[in-house]
A and B are shown apart, each in its own frame.
Chain A
Amino acid sequence: MTVIRLLIVDDHPIMRDGLRGVFSGDPGFEVVGEAGDGAEAVRLAQRVEADVILMDLRMPAMGGVEAITRLRELGHPARVLILTTYDTDRDVLPAIKAGATGYLLKDAPRDELIRAVHAAYAGRPVLAPSVASALIGLAGDRGGDALSPREIEVLRLVADGATNQAAARRLLVSETTIKTHLLHIYTKLGVRDRASAVATAYKRGLLS
């Protein structure tokens, strides 16, 4: 039987103890380390070969999102499961974008936590229901984060250098509509202007 090696990262010792308690009673897991902030987690992760990192988000010195980003930069293979008190989109999105495999809340029942670690280990995304709704409801963005075909069409025109007016003429719609599309595109891509929207779209392979 595979033993999943876990690294627990949380700035509250009592929380770490509680998590260790959940997993040390289960032969399917081995807690290979504990860290009190993101920087320590990154250092430790390189030493202990963790399969899954249970990561708090808001911690002193270095938070969870930055830690995930560092781990990805280092090419660390561990899956990261966020375990936090916060389910607002401001917390959720950056963590998912940084590369977290799952996002759970600290009120998750023990069974759910264990299932989530198994899923994360297998590379399957796990989201707490309230987190899933936060993502779906993001910025009034019921359809989730993906750009619609029309939005990609608009972005392609912009990438080719079209002004709002030129894009509007091309699609036979008003500049108001083009601007509205662009605002939705910015929100979905998490950017502030057309140049970074185009850059991000290329980076994500939405434009080629």
Chain B
Amino acid sequence: MRALRPQQLEQASLPEAIGTLARTWSAESAIAADLETTGTVVRAAPGTEAAVFRAAQEALANVAKHAQAAKVQITLTYLSDTLLLDVADDGTGFDPGDETGGYGLAGMRQRLSRVGGTLTVESSPGAGTILNVSVPLAEPLEGASR
């Protein structure tokens, strides 16, 4: 069993944690990564934030391993009732119908489904890949909104 809450989220907000993750990953992989956050950032439930953070980690790991990308755009979108994470790369892409399981998508899906979330992969050969995570935002915890 993995820890419920990644250490990176202990002291930072989700956008900060993903920003740090992106910078570290970018330095290691030599692939440019940008994070854009839109909407009003709220604290989501710990399990939800953890699932989104891990999805970002795995998405970036996949890009480094498979995509031969030059650039990654990460977008966190806070809506009133939903949090969206998009990880878009400009790499080789693949046919999502051929999902082999080698990308850890099944595990990601499972983890996200526990917090009511979904995972979508949009890709085609030669056109890069965009991974989308959508998770519901519950009512903000008292005193925890930012």
Interfacial residues, chain A to chain B (CB-CB below 8 A): 140-143, 148-150, 168, 171-177, 180-181, 184
A184: chain B residues at CB < 8 Å are 79-80
B86 lies within 8 A of chain A by Cβ:
yes
Please classify the interface of chain A as helix (H, G, I), strand (E, B), loop, or mixed, using the class held by over half of its residues: helix
Closest CB of chain B to A185's CB: distance in Å? Answer: 11
Residue B92 CB within 8 A of the other chain = no
**23 A-B contacts (beta carbon < 8 Å):** A140-B81, A142-B80, A142-B81, A148-B38, A149-B38, A172-B75, A172-B86, A172-B88, A172-B130, A173-B73, A173-B86, A173-B88, A173-B130, A173-B132, A174-B88, A174-B122, A174-B130, A175-B130, A176-B132, A177-B75, A180-B82, A180-B84, A184-B80
- Knowing A148-B39, A172-B75, the reply to whether A177 touches B86 (Cβ < 8 A) is yes
**Inter-chain residue pair count (beta carbon < 8 A):** 58
Please tell me the number of chain B residues within 8 Å of chain A, measured between CB atoms: 19
Q: Mark B101-139, 1 if CB is under 8 A from A, else 0.
A: 000000000000000000010100000001110100000
A173 and B77 within 8 A (CB) = yes
Chain A hits for B122, CB < 8 A:
168, 174-176
Known: A150-B38, A184-B80; 9 extra A-B contacts, CB below 8 A, are: A140-B81, A141-B80, A141-B81, A143-B40, A173-B73, A173-B130, A176-B120, A177-B77, A184-B79
B120 contact set on A, CB distance < 8 A: 174, 176
Report the minimum CB–CB distance from B88 to chain A (whole Å): 5
Neighbour of B77 across the interface among A143, A150, A168, CB < 8 A = A150
Considering the complex, give the chain A residue whose CB is closest to the CB of B88. Answer: A172
Pick from B40, B122, B134 the residue with the most CB of A within 10 Å: B122
Q: A148-B38, A148-B39, A150-B38 are in contact. Are A174 and B86 (CB under 8 A)?
A: yes
Q: Nearest Cβ distance between residue B130 and chain A, in whole angstroms?
A: 4
Tell me how far the C-beta of B127 lies from the nearest C-beta in chain A, rounded to whole angstroms.
Answer: 9
- In the complex, residue of chain A having the shortest beta-carbon distance to the beta carbon of B145: A142
* B131 close to A174 (CB less than 8 A): yes
**Once bound together, how far apart are the Cα atoms of A149 and B86, in whole Å?**
18
Assembly CA distance A91 to B38 (angstroms): 31
Specify the chain A residue showing the minimal Cβ separation from B132: A174
Q: Please, how many angstroms separate the alpha-carbon atoms of A1 and B77 in the complex?
A: 53
CB contacts (< 8 Å) of A180 on chain B: these are 77, 79, 82, 84, 134
Question: Which of B39, B82, B131 interacts with A150 by CB under 8 Å?
Answer: B39
Instruction: Tell me the complex Cα distance, A79–B19, Å.
Output: 50
Residues from chain B with a CB closer than 8 A to the CB of A150 are 38-39, 77
Tell me, in angstroms, the Cα distance from A168 to B122 when the chains sit together: 11
B84: A residues at CB distance < 8 A: 173, 176-177, 180
B79 to chain A: which residues have CB within 8 Å?
180-181, 184
